[in-house]
Amino acid sequence: MRVLLMVFSVCAAAAVAGAQPPAPPAPAASTLDFEFFRTRVQPIFLAKRPGHARCITCHRTGTPRLIELKDGQTMWDEAQSRRNFEVWQRVVVPGDPEASRLLMHPLAKSAGGDVFHGGGRHWDSKADPEWQTLAAWVRTGTPAATTTQGSGLDFDVYRSRIEPIFLKERAPNEGAGMCIGCHARIATRLRLQPLSPGATTWTEAQSRQNFEVVQRVVVPGDPAASPLAIHPLATAAGGDAQHTGGKFWTSADHPEYQAVVTWIRSAAANPAAAARPAPTLDFAFFRERVQPIFLAKRPGHARCITCHRTGTPRLIELPAGQATWDEAQSRQNFEVWRRVVVPGDPEASRLLMHPLAKSVGGDVFHGGGRHWDSKSDPEWQTLAAWVRGETITRSSR
Ligand code: HEC
Ligand code: HEC
Ligand code: HEC
């Protein structure tokens, strides 16, 4: 009977999920961590969640398949775990939890989950500890498209020469402190892994994650176009105008700057690895959909405008009796607030990550508190749509 049910669900799914992309081919040699899978992922397949059958109940016969446990056996042995690992790594995209069916299939649709799962929704939100564990596992893998080979940037040089820069203790007059002090805590494209408790450096897996992230602020072959080189460099020495974290290198002779430049130059310019063009932020979308969020009242919180009409980033003060900003005022707001977002990248944008709960990835501190508990909050989603370049009228383009 159950077999029949499975077959039926699978057919239904095939029809419903027709628009989904096909399974990515299994990587030749997985970079995903097997031990992590064995000890932390597998227990999730066996756990009981109220209102749901266990994953194993269906998946010992359905796909992706889990090895059936013999009577009295409470966990898979090493060889069985290897077989589970081979099968289940095919439903994840190494490095990218949100592209992984393992995470998105059983996730509530309201939190971004896939359109259909024959087994129901086991997690209401990405903040669920099980979801987070699976995400951590997926992140142990290296994304295929951005491996060392893809960008031409050398991982070993990165690990031995570049990464120590982020961990170096700084003198009082040297920038605004250790790079990691801010860059593991605040949303920017350079979002480094926090160090594990007690650790003084990153593990190889963490370094690989950092490496992926650092590539987003590097243009292979072109130091002058790479924020990693010009952001911490003094303007007078060829750096860009401003870095919130301060200027660390007063001259181009600084050994850290030299190490960064040598590393970036050693990678041939590679158009395929060049950053995707960032989307344009739509002013009308900002005026109509983003600005109301600055004025809205959320229980337990002051409105954004209450603090930000005097603090930075600044919002124009509304004259008494005026319910919203006029065109010119909206333009001024737009110019200021676009500076706290990274077009195309909501999770690197302080506008979204500063007021977001820390448990779901928000920045370490916001003077104004946490206005959103989850990224599925409709306001957060609206801001994300703006950052991704959504426009207010499709016909206007
Ligand atoms: C009540 C039975 C049932 C339970 C319980 C169940 N599943 Fe499923 N699952 C299915 C069926 C049926 C399919 C195939 C149809 C589909 O894609 O939804 C499926 C498909 C999947 C897929 C997609 C496979 C692919 O190739 O696209 C993943 C991933 C998945 N399940 C993971 C899980 C996880 C993880 C759990 C436990 C948290 C779980 N399932 C619990 C029945 C179940
Ligand atoms: C006091 C906090 C702080 C410190 C310390 C700090 N930064 Fe930053 N950094 C920021 C903030 C905030 C931003 C985003 C705003 C900006 O670009 O100024 C940023 C942006 C950057 C960017 C561009 C990121 C992007 O999204 O484009 C790079 C690259 C960078 N920092 C490198 C470094 C390096 C290297 C160090 C250490 C030598 C460092 N930072 C130290 C706060 C800091
Ligand atoms: C109770 C006062 C208060 C409220 C309400 C408030 N903020 Fe803030 N906000 C601050 C303070 C103080 C800072 C500066 C310190 C910091 O970075 O947290 C700040 C900083 C920020 C920053 C970082 C700016 C930067 O350059 O790094 C952003 C983005 C931000 N707020 C967005 C918002 C949004 C959006 C809302 C409404 C959802 C909001 N704030 C509500 C007080 C507030």
pLDDT in tens, 228-250: 999 999 999 999 988 989 999 99
How many whole angstroms separate alpha carbon 11 and alpha carbon 16? 9
Q: Which of 22-31, 182-191, 209-218 has the lowest mean pLDDT?
A: 22-31
Q: What spacing in Å lies between the alpha carbon of 351 and ligand 2's midpoint?
A: 16
Which residues line ligand 3 at a C-beta cut-off of 6 Å?
301-302, 304, 306-308, 311-313, 340, 350-351, 354-355, 365-368, 371
Q: Which of 28-32, 172-176, 237-241, 334-338 has the lowest mean pLDDT?
A: 28-32
Distance from the Cα of residue 87 to its chain's centroid: 25
**Ligand 3 atom having least distance to the Cα of 293:** 38
Residue 51's CB is within 10 A of a number of other CB atoms, namely 8
Q: Could you read off the pLDDT of 68-88 as tens digits, one per residue?
A: 999 999 999 999 999 999 999
Q: Atom 14 (ligand 1): residue with closest C-alpha?
A: 10
pLDDT at 191: 87
Judge if the beta carbon of residue 261 lies within 6 A of ligand 2: no
Q: Are 231 and 164 in contact (CB under 8 A)?
A: no
How many whole angstroms separate alpha carbon 272 and alpha carbon 96? 20
Judge if the beta carbon of residue 24 lies within 6 A of ligand 1: no
Give residue 62's pLDDT band: very low, low, confident or very high (50, 70, 90).
confident
Give residue 150's pLDDT band: very low, low, confident or very high (50, 70, 90).
low
Give residue 196's pLDDT band: very low, low, confident or very high (50, 70, 90).
confident
Q: What spacing in Å lies between the alpha carbon of 195 and ligand 3's midpoint?
A: 26
**CB within 8 Å of 184: residues ≥ 6 apart:** 191, 192, 193, 194, 195
Which has more confidence, 284 or 144?
284
Which has more confidence, 42 or 63?
42
Does 121 have pLDDT greater than 50? yes
- Ligand lying nearest the CA atom of residue 292: 3
Reference 148, options 23, 277, 261, 268; nearest CA is 268
Q: Atom 41 (ligand 1): residue with closest C-alpha?
A: 55
How many whole angstroms separate alpha carbon 365 and alpha carbon 306? 18
pLDDT at 30: 65
pLDDT at 63: 85
Rounded to 5 degrees, φ, ψ at 275 are: -60, 145
- How many Cα neighbours within 13 Å face the side chain of 51? 5
Give residue 145's pLDDT band: very low, low, confident or very high (50, 70, 90).
very low
Reference 157, options 231, 63, 261; nearest CA is 261
How many whole angstroms separate alpha carbon 53 and alpha carbon 46? 10
Most confident segment among 3-17, 20-34, 35-49, 361-375? 35-49
Distance from the Cα of residue 340 to its chain's centroid: 16
329 Rama class: left (phi>0) / alpha (psi -120 to 50) / beta: alpha
The amino acid at residue 153 is L
- Ligand lying nearest the CA atom of residue 366: 3
pLDDT at 396: 42
Q: Are 131 and 103 in contact (CB under 8 A)?
A: yes
pLDDT at 143: 64
Q: Atom 40 (ligand 3): residue with closest C-alpha?
A: 304
Q: Atom 8 (ligand 2): residue with closest C-alpha?
A: 245
Which has more confidence, 40 or 311?
40
Q: Are 257 and 249 in contact (CB under 8 A)?
A: yes
How many whole angstroms separate alpha carbon 338 and alpha carbon 387? 9
Stretch 180-184: mean pLDDT: 92
Diameter of the chain measured on Cα atoms? 76
Q: What spacing in Å lies between the alpha carbon of 306 and ligand 2's midpoint?
A: 28
pLDDT at 27: 38
Q: Atom 12 (ligand 2): residue with closest C-alpha?
A: 244
Q: What spacing in Å lies between the alpha carbon of 244 and ligand 2's midpoint?
A: 6
Q: How far is CA 247 from each of CA 181, 225, 230, 330, 364, rounded to the nearest angstrom?
A: 15, 17, 9, 32, 22
**To which residue do tokens 């077989």 refer?**
83
**Ligand 3 atom having least distance to the Cα of 186:** 27
Q: What spacing in Å lies between the alpha carbon of 119 and ligand 1's midpoint?
A: 5
Judge if the beta carbon of residue 182 lies within 6 A of ligand 2: yes
The amino acid at residue 52 is H
Which has more confidence, 164 or 93?
164
Stretch 262-275: mean pLDDT: 71
The amino acid at residue 73 is Q
Q: What spacing in Å lies between the alpha carbon of 134 and ligand 1's midpoint?
A: 15
Structure tokens at 383: 């801001």
Most confident segment among 16-20, 267-271, 357-361? 357-361
Stretch 125-148: mean pLDDT: 81
Report the mean per-residue pLDDT for the chain. Answer: 86
